[in-house]
Amino acid sequence: MILPDVLESGLAVVFCGTAAGNRSAQVGAYYAGIGNRFWPTLYQIGFTSRLLQPTEFRQALHDGIGLTDLAKFAVGVDSAIAPTDYAPSDLQTKIRHYAPRWLAFTSKQAAKVYFGTKTIAYGQQDEKIEQTRIYVLPSPSGAARRTWDISWWIKLAEMR
């Protein structure tokens, strides 16, 4: 496993990406890539009580936030991850067990892999995992600057 899951029962939201990026794997921390907006955005929209550094990812639990990825044993950009590296059924099992209020995919790609579809819209999805609602966010990655839109993150924060 590249990055450990950060999960417990009773969470407001579990954020799920595709796989650890190169920088995240190198430093052993979620969303550690240069230019990644994940941690600053969580603080800006009120999900965290202070700005967490990537290496403090375990502290997210104190704010009701969990973290995981669809490919727990792969590293790199999405195009470098083999389809067989993804384990959507493992994610579903975790979400059923921990039952957060929300599962939020941190990119359309992660959501498309999970749902097995070629297209997906941002925002709340019709599907649920038992009582857990599902939401799709624009990627906070620095590599996804052209599709960045914080408004979807704000909407999730308002619904939690």
Q: What angle do CA 97, 122, 94 make, to 5 degrees?
A: 10
How far apart CA 39 and CA 133 sit, in angstroms, is: 22
Specify if 2 maps to a domain: no
How far apart CA 21 and CA 29 sit, in angstroms, is: 10
Question: Which ranges of the chain have pLDDT less than 70?
Answer: none
pLDDT at residue number 160:
84
pLDDT at residue number 78:
92
What CATH code is carried by the domain that includes residue 43? 3.40.470.10
Specify if 132 maps to a domain: yes
CB atoms within 10 A of CB 123: 14
Q: What is the pLDDT of residues 143-154, one digit of tens each?
A: 888 889 999 999
Specify if 81 maps to a domain: yes
Specify if 5 maps to a domain: no
Q: What is the pLDDT of residues 63-80, one digit of tens each?
A: 999 999 999 999 999 999
Side-chain half-sphere exposure of 94, counting CA atoms within 13 A? 23
Specify if 26 maps to a domain: yes
User: Which residue in 141, 72, 135 sits closest to 103, CA to CA?
Assistant: 135
pLDDT at residue number 142:
87
pLDDT at residue number 144:
87
How far apart CA 146 and CA 125 sit, in angstroms, is: 23
Containing domain of residue 35, as a range?
A: 13-159
Specify if 8 maps to a domain: no
pTM of structure: 0.97
How far apart CA 59 and CA 52 sit, in angstroms, is: 8
Specify if 29 maps to a domain: yes
Specify if 154 maps to a domain: yes
Number of structural domains the chain divides into: 1
